Amino acid sequence: MKYLIAGLGNIGEEYEDTRHNIGFSVLDSFSAKFNLKFEDRRYGFICRFPFKGEQIILLKPSTYMNLSGYAVSYWMKKEKVELNNLLVIVDDIALPLGTVRMRPGGSDGGHNGLAHISALLGTNEYARIRIGIGNDFPKGRQKDYVLSKWTPEEKPVVNEKISLVTNMIISFVTAGTEITMTRYNTPRRSTREKSQN
Q: Tell me the H-state helices in 6-47.
A: 22-33
Give me the catalytic one of 18, 19, 20, 172. Answer: 20
Instruction: Give 29's DSSP letter.
Output: H
Question: CB–CB of 23/9 below 8 Å?
Answer: yes
Spell out a b/e string for 98-135, using b for 16 or more CB atoms within 10 Å of the CB, else e: bbbbbbeeeebeebbbbbbbbebbeebebbbbbbbbbe
Which residues lie closer than 8 Å to 177 by C-beta, 6 or more apart? 84, 102, 104, 127
116 in catalytic set: no
Name the residues annotated as catalytic: 20
